[in-house]
Amino acid sequence: MTSSTIKNTENTQEQVSIAETETIVVAAEPTESVEHTDPVEHAEPVEQAEPADMSVTPDIDPVVLGSDTVQPVKPVDKRTESEKLQSAIHGTSYKDQPTLLALKRRLERLQTTSAETAASDQSLAALADLIEERLSEYNNWQKKLVQEIEQHIAQVTARIAGGKVTEAQSQLDRSHSQLKRINPDDQARLSALIAPLREELARLLDWKKFASSEKKKELIDKMQALTDNSTQPAQKAKLIRALQDEWKTLGHSDDNDGLWNQFSELARVAFEPCKLYFKERKDQQAGNLIARNNICEQLEAYAVTIKDAGVNLNELTRLENQAREDWKKYAPVAQNKINALQERFNAVLTELRQHRRVAMQSHNAAKTALIEQAKALAVSDDLGSAIQQAKVLQQQWKDLGPGSFKDDRKLWTDFRAACDALFARRDDISKEKRQQVRNNSSPAKDILKTISALLALDDEAFSESRSKFVALSDSFKEALTPDLKHERKALQEQFSKLSKQFDARLRATPDRKTLQLLQQIQTLAGFCDELESALLAGAELPASIETLEQQWNEFDKVPDETLDQLLKKRFQQVAKLQSDSEAWTALLEKQSLRARELCVEAEIMMGADTPAADKAIRMQQQLNQLQRGLGRAPLSQKEKVQRLQSIELQLLAMGPLNKMNRSSLEQRLQQLKQKL
């Protein structure tokens, strides 16, 4: 409210107050016999109220309205009037502006009467300052109210925009109550701002009511679905409760009662199957309650028994663990029984733990005594006797059984350390003896290492190592002296194993003629491999066909006619198919299949397994063998060696083959040779 507004209000109120006072004086002049009480003395704080009745006991003559003659005014009893004003001003709130203005006018009239004392003037001036202070508070209060209402309007606008209808409605109602307490100008201005907000809010409330109605219909449909589905009762009860809770969050809607009746009836129907579940659950809780009481009774009886009979730690631990498992198994129980029952269970467990602690102290003392005995044995001179006694102590430790994990871990560490110290002495002595044996067995071991080295020679060198093996065998027999004892048996077993390997390798090793043939084939096959690798890589041949044929003719002829023709055909394929990639690819697949067939034939002959990828080839070859006849005599060891060597030479002469495939097939043949 502006200062001009306040001033105009004061002038208007003053004129009204004077007219009212004059009218009251004319109409109701009191008699001397009546004691008058000024209403100002009982003024109550009001908020923007009408001016209070300012009539006091007048000591003035009546004024005749409408007459040219004004009768003289009687002097006012300033002391009495000042006391009344002081009481009224102090009892008037700063929010009661009309009363304050009326009191201000009365004070001003009182100050303009006849001569006054200095003390009276000071008192009246103080009252005037108090009134001005109250009026200033009123102005500040009005400004604050206007600011709050403006803030509320902004907040309501934001909440309406955000769809927070309920909050906006509540705040708008508070703003409406505050509007009544501000001046008319600001009241009109702010009311104009609030009016469109009320309209928008009313529209949103209508929409919310509609949306609430639709949402309730949706909840009714969901509840209807729950009446028919086969959801587990516990889960269904939760779903029903969730729908009911969601219903509570919705506001008023159209046909509110009708929708609620429909929803609640469906909820009752949907909950019917849950009743049986909860009844059964209640029966289960009753049974669990009985079972848990039985557990408590058994534990309590056991606690009484061990007071006299003593504690068996293993039995107590087992019983306690079983009781805990059973306690968990017999759940749930009725909510109102849980606490008392749990306290009973905990109390008896506490008592059992106390017995356990006492028994554990005795248990630990017994194990400590065993530790001390073991430490004494560790320094005993009679090592053999000490070892036997240590084994007895270990059995006694075992008989005591386990104690607490924490204590047992430390006690066992100490006991184990004492026993280990004793056994370490024994091991040191045994180690010295073994070292002596090893020193004596070194010549025999060296001979065995030399024999193992013979087995690593290539075929040509190995074929000439027979005489050396015989000499080593004689030397080994001389090295097996009687003092080797336990080492002697192990060395003999190792020699026997190496001898068998040497004989098997010797049988599988080609003779000199075969070795020469192998070297010749390796040379020709290597020449072909180089050419085939170039074609497989898409590169050009290292020389012209004429040059390559000239180089081929310079090689010695292979004495084996079959292998010679196989190698010649392999070389001729290079010249013939060098520019035909499709034919070359087909030839590669054909040769790969033939090589695998040879390898499978060898595996069948040696009774070895075939990789899964070649199982079909193996089955076909076995069927072919059946068709050729079952009466054929099995191959001798020598025949197997010869056939395996023949297959190895054929595989070497064949081509083209992928390097990886050739390596895999050669490895399979080497494994078969080891079986010989």
Sequence-distant (6+) residues with CB within 8 A of 78 are 110, 113, 116, 120
Which residue type, as a one-letter code, is found at position 107? L
Asked if residue 629 and residue 493 are part of one domain, the reply reads no
Report the b/e string of 511-540 with b at 16+ CB within 10 A. eeebeebbebbeebbebbbebbeebbeeee
Report phi then psi at 385, rounded to 5.
-65, -40
Asked if residue 521 and residue 662 are part of one domain, the reply reads yes
Give me Rg for the CA atoms of the chain: 60
pLDDT of residue 204: 62
- Quote the CA–CA distance of 505 and 508 in Å, as a whole number: 5
Asked if residue 573 and residue 598 are part of one domain, the reply reads yes
Question: In the chain, how many domains are there?
Answer: 3
- Quote the CA–CA distance of 142 and 150 in Å, as a whole number: 12
Cis peptide before 45 (omega within 30 of 0): no
pLDDT of residue 346: 92
Residue 410 belongs to a domain: no
Asked if residue 598 and residue 516 are part of one domain, the reply reads yes
SS in 3 state form for 328-393? HHCCCCCHHHHHHHHHHHHHHHHHHHHHHHHHHHHHHHHHHHHHHHHHHHHCCCCHHHHHHHHHHH
Residue 273 belongs to a domain: no
Residue 370 belongs to a domain: no
Asked if residue 568 and residue 468 are part of one domain, the reply reads no
**Domain end marker among 508, 526, 545:** 508
Alpha carbons within 13 angstroms on the beta-carbon side of residue 231 total: 18
Type and span of the H or E element at 32: none
390, 422 Cβ separation under 8 angstroms: yes
pLDDT of residue 50: 38
**Domain end marker among 472, 491, 508:** 508
Higher pLDDT, 192 or 344: 344
Residue 25 belongs to a domain: yes
- Quote the CA–CA distance of 40 and 55 in Å, as a whole number: 8
Asked if residue 102 and residue 33 are part of one domain, the reply reads yes
Residue 351 belongs to a domain: no
Asked if residue 563 and residue 656 are part of one domain, the reply reads yes
Asked if residue 533 and residue 490 are part of one domain, the reply reads no
In tens, the pLDDT along 180-231 reads 777 777 777 777 777 776 766 666 666 666 666 777 777 787 877 878 777 7
Cis peptide before 332 (omega within 30 of 0): yes
Q: Mean pLDDT score of the chain, rounded to an integer?
A: 74
Asked if residue 522 and residue 470 are part of one domain, the reply reads no
Asked if residue 552 and residue 460 are part of one domain, the reply reads no
Res 46 pLDDT > 70: no
Enumerate the H helices of 310-334 as residue ranges: 313-329
Which residue type, as a one-letter code, is found at position 572? Q
Asked if residue 577 and residue 484 are part of one domain, the reply reads no
- Quote the CA–CA distance of 268 and 246 in Å, as a whole number: 16
pLDDT of residue 3: 40
Least confident among 69-73, 316-320, 412-416, 505-509? 69-73
Res 30 pLDDT > 50: no
> N- to C-terminal Cα distance for the chain?
121
Asked if residue 669 and residue 524 are part of one domain, the reply reads yes
Residue 166 belongs to a domain: no
- Quote the CA–CA distance of 344 and 289 in Å, as a whole number: 12
**Domain end marker among 97, 115, 144:** 144
Tokens of 77: 């009893």
Residue 63 belongs to a domain: yes
Higher pLDDT, 57 or 265: 265
pLDDT confidence tier of residue 28, bands split at 50, 70 and 90: very low
- Which domain does 531 fall in, by range? 512-675
Residue 249 belongs to a domain: no
In tens, the pLDDT along 245-303 reads 877 777 666 667 777 887 788 888 788 778 778 888 888 888 888 899 999 988 888 88
